[in-house]
Amino acid sequence: MQSEINPWSSNQEIETNKLFSEFGIEPVEPLLGKIKNPPAFLRRNIVTGQRDYARVVDAMANKEKFFVMTGFMPSGHPHLGHLMVMKEVAWHVRQGGLGYVAIADREAHAVRDISWEKCREFGKEYLKCLYALGFEGTTYFQSDNNDLKDLAFESATRINFSELQAIYGFSQETALAKAMSVAMQVADILYPQTDDEPAPTVVPVGLDQDPHIRLTRDVSYKLRMFLVEERCEGNREYISIRSKNAPETAMKDLASAFPGAKVYEGHIDIKGGNLDDVKETVRKVERRNGGYGFISPSATYHTFLQGLQGGKMSSSVPESLFGFYEDEKSVKKKIMSALTGGRMTLEEQKKLGGEPEKCSIYLLNLFHMTEDDDELKEMYRACKAGELMCGTCKKETFERVKEFLAEFREKMDECEHKVEV
């Protein structure tokens, strides 16, 4: 049986509710109170779902170490559809996160048959965009990174074909390289914790990438040597540390790290003690005995911006989006002929008002072009009230886009030198 979300499918009409209820993605909203000055993408519920994000939110609030990591598949020029994740990465870096960005050239080559030269060219453009948005940190192309390849191989020891079939619908005909690119992505996500040391990691992605996140969380757990759990038997409460794959020497080391604990064959019980402290000690023991000690990665999920013609935004539909280096005339044309939430006639529009929820222009403003909440609210109100007509609104939106692009291009040019690969 194939699962509902396939990250390589061209159909991105994902049923958000289903993802939440069936796959256990949690809403982001309850965590907002703990985030100082949440950015527009959080305030407006564009980034709508999360797994284990509380761990990262706490690290941000307490100024503790955390990573923000994501990847881009260089199958074409970067465009409007990639901007959300880029902004999320840059914002987390500004909040103190250590940034990591993978250019998934192996995935693009395996899945989209993109030549290595093109992968390089597109990949550099993605990096330039990121730097222009203020990104700082580590970047790499998958094909260049040997430590990553080793980690992918190690991860692959914990992935089997029936999982790949269940998660992605892989069949007998699926290319081995595609399966390998899955292991690469698992490795991308775990890489910061091996390049540096274990710390919470947030992976900002679109909802379509959740299968990769689930798989990676599973692999990170399977690669652990020990399992630490709080247990209760009758009125006896204790912390149990069980070996999963731990070698004998690590077991011995563990026993000496917890003097006074009850040592059994393959597990140790500790009375009293703080769960988090015990987990940290266990992680250290694991690390000094050659293990990874991974902290299960967290993720945030954004919804997709619809295309300028309604429906999916995709580089295979050029009118659905604009590129960051597209000339002004062409961008203007696309915006002026975008599908809006306007009515059939001017009369009707004045009487009934527009439908901003369905309007690609309103959504473009909501996602990217109007930072100020009051300004956005006024746009919404005036549209609903039949005061703002589509022609005017499109023109105003184009002005904002023009300004955004001019500034973005200038910054990209300034950042050219940072992309030396």
Tokens of 44: 């407006």
Q: Residue 342 phi/psi, 5° resolution?
A: -80, 165
Among 88, 105, 188, 210, binds ligand TRP (CB under 6 A): 188
Cβ distance to ligand TRP smaller for residue 85 or 383: 85
Question: For residue 73, which of 1, 148, 142 has the smallest C-alpha distance?
Answer: 142
- Of the candidate residues 25, 47, 59, 73, the single one contacting ligand TRP (CB under 6 A): 73
| Straight-line distance from the first to the last Cα atom of the chain, in angstroms, rounded to the nearest whole number | 42
Residues 104-123 that bind ligand TRP (CB under 6 A): 104, 107
Q: Please report where in the chains the tokens 């070698």 appear, as a residue.
A: 247
Q: Which stretch binds ligand TRP (CB under 6 A): 70-78, 157-165, 255-263, 306-314?
A: 70-78
Question: Which is closer to ligand TRP, CB of 208 or CB of 286?
Answer: 208
Closest distance of CB 101 from ligand TRP, Å: 9
Check residue 133 for interaction with ligand TRP (CB under 6 A).
no
In the region spanning residues 148 to 187, those forming contacts with ligand TRP, defined by CB under 6 A, are 185
The answer for 169, left when phi > 0, alpha when psi is -120 to 50, beta otherwise, is left
Nearer to ligand TRP, 104 or 241 (CB): 104
300 binds ligand TRP (CB under 6 A): no
Q: Dig out the tokens for 95 from the structure.
A: 């909040």
Closer by beta carbon to ligand TRP, 214 or else 334: 214
Q: Does 50 bind ligand TRP (CB under 6 A)?
A: no
282 binds ligand TRP (CB under 6 A): no
- For the CB of residue 208, give the shortest distance to ligand TRP in the complex, in Å: 8
Whole-number minimum distance, CB 273 to ligand TRP, in Å? 35
206 or 353: CB nearest ligand TRP = 206
**Nearest CB to ligand TRP, comparing residues 2 and 256:** 2
| 349 interacts with ligand TRP by CB under 6 A | no
- Residues that bind ligand TRP (rule: CB under 6 A) add up to a total of 14
One DSSP character per residue, 299-313 reads: EEEEPPPPPTTSS--
User: Of 9 and 21, which CB lies nearer to ligand TRP in the complex structure?
Assistant: 9
Residue of this chain nearest to ligand TRP (CB atom): 71
Q: Which is nearer to ligand TRP, 185 or 306 (CB)?
A: 185
Residue 72, CA distances (Å) to 108, 170, 293, 371 in order:
9, 22, 26, 25
Region of 44-52, 102-110, 129-137, 366-374 interacting with ligand TRP (CB under 6 A): 102-110
Per-residue tokens: 316: 């295979």
Other C-beta atoms closer than 10 Å to the C-beta of 195 total 16
Applying CB under 6 A, among 19, 25, 57, 102 the residue interacting with ligand TRP is 102
244's CB contacts (< 8 A; 6+ apart) are: 222, 224, 225, 226, 227
Site mask for ligand TRP (CB under 6 A), range 189-228, x = bound: x-------------x-x---x-------------------
For 342, half-sphere exposure in the C-beta direction (CA atoms, 13 angstrom radius) is 19
Shortest Å distance, C-beta 216 to ligand TRP: 8
Distance CA 254, CA 369 (A): 54
Please state, in angstroms and rounded to a whole number, the distance separating the CA atoms of residues 125 and 76.
Answer: 10
Q: Which is nearer to ligand TRP, 221 or 264 (CB)?
A: 221
Distance CA 85, CA 93 (A): 12
The pair of three-digit structure tokens given for residue 216, joined into one six-digit string: 């990676």
Among 12, 70, 220, 340, binds ligand TRP (CB under 6 A): 70
By beta-carbon proximity to ligand TRP, the closer residue of 71 and 291 is 71
How long is the chain? 421
Q: What are phi and psi of 252, to 5 degrees?
A: -65, -45
Distance of CA 68 to the CA centre of its chain: 9
Tell me whether residue 184 or residue 282 sits nearer to ligand TRP (CB atom): 184
What six digits make up the tokens of 322? 């604009």
| Residue 209 Cβ vs ligand TRP, minimum distance, rounded to whole Å | 6
Rounded-to-integer distance, Cα 410 and Cα 184, Å: 34
Residue 133 contacts residue 94 (beta carbons within 8 Å)? no
Neighbour count for residue 398 (Cβ, 10 Å): 20
Asked if residue 106 lies in contact with residue 184, where contact means CB atoms within 8 angstroms, the answer is yes
Residues in touch with ligand TRP (CB under 6 A):
7, 70-73, 102, 104, 107, 185, 188-189, 203, 205, 209
